[in-house]
Amino acid sequence: MPRTPLARSLLVAGLMLAAASGLRAGPPFLTDDPEPVDFRHWEFYLFAMGDRSADGDVLAAPAVEVNYGLAPEVQLHLVAPVTDASAAGSGWKSGPGDAEFGVKVRIVDETDSRPQVGVFPAVELATGDSARGLGNGRTWWRLPVWLQKSWGPWTTYGGGGVALNSAPGQRNYEFEGWLVQRNLGKYLTLGTELFHQGASQAGGRGFTVADAGGSINFTENFNLLFSGGHSISGERQVVWYLGLYWTWGPNEPSR
């Protein structure tokens, strides 16, 4: 079934929500992690991400993400994008997209023998113009559980959950992903992942994406994030992420 501009914008909104999290994991990947921002610390991202298929293009650009360590093991999260959509053979439409708010909570700390575990419920607010294909038209939710384990320079994390979307023509779906990444010295981190999402609209198909990316770490507080990949089954598409990251807060994290 060909995708409508609305369905395409919803796909990017879902991928953006999947990709939104802290620097140690999460952006620029679709798979998320359980690690919240340190207490009383801030993170700020200025980014663009997109999806391309034979049916058209959708971008979240420019977009901003803000994370704040509200309490030990608790992070507040906000994303505000401009959404740009173009169906095949038509011009571009642009305007505010659906904003996103979430709370990440780590419920199990990592030890030598067990992974850390966290939950990251998030709500996609219907702030975009659904009539122009720039939003969902109704508020919807994502409810995931994420795990992470590290060994020296290696980190692996993943998990999944469900999305609950009652907008006309849309449907609830599952999603899951897993990623492995490695620190290659002080200035470079690289990783690769597999991410699967079920069909998000009535009559549609799910997809599985394979991608790779990482971060160039100019300083401890300023990074360039990047990733790109494409589907290996299901809906045919190409996805990418490019962003700048800043962080600041007290010199000593209060946990």
pLDDT in tens, the chain (255 residues): 334 544 555 555 555 555 543 334 579 999 999 999 999 999 999 999 998 877 778 889 999 999 999 999 999 999 999 988 887 667 888 999 999 999 999 999 999 999 999 999 999 999 998 888 788 899 999 999 999 999 999 999 999 999 999 999 899 999 999 999 999 999 999 999 999 999 988 888 899 999 999 999 999 999 999 999 999 999 888 999 999 999 999 986 444
How far apart are the two ends of the chain, measured CA to CA in Å? 49
In angstroms, the Cα distances linking 79 to 26, 31, 33, 41, 112 are 14, 17, 17, 17, 34
pLDDT of residue 13: 54
Q: Give which of 93, 70, 69 is closest to 82, Cα–Cα.
A: 93
* 207-219 and 238-248 beta bridge pairing: unpaired
d(CA 124, CA 121): 10
Copy the structure tokens of residue 58. Answer: 């959708």
Q: What are phi and psi of 168, to 5 degrees?
A: -55, 130
CATH of domain 5-248: 2.40.160.40
For residue 87, what pLDDT is reported? 74
The residue ranges of every structural domain in the chain are: 5-248
Residue 236 has what pLDDT?
87
Per-residue pLDDT at 21:
38
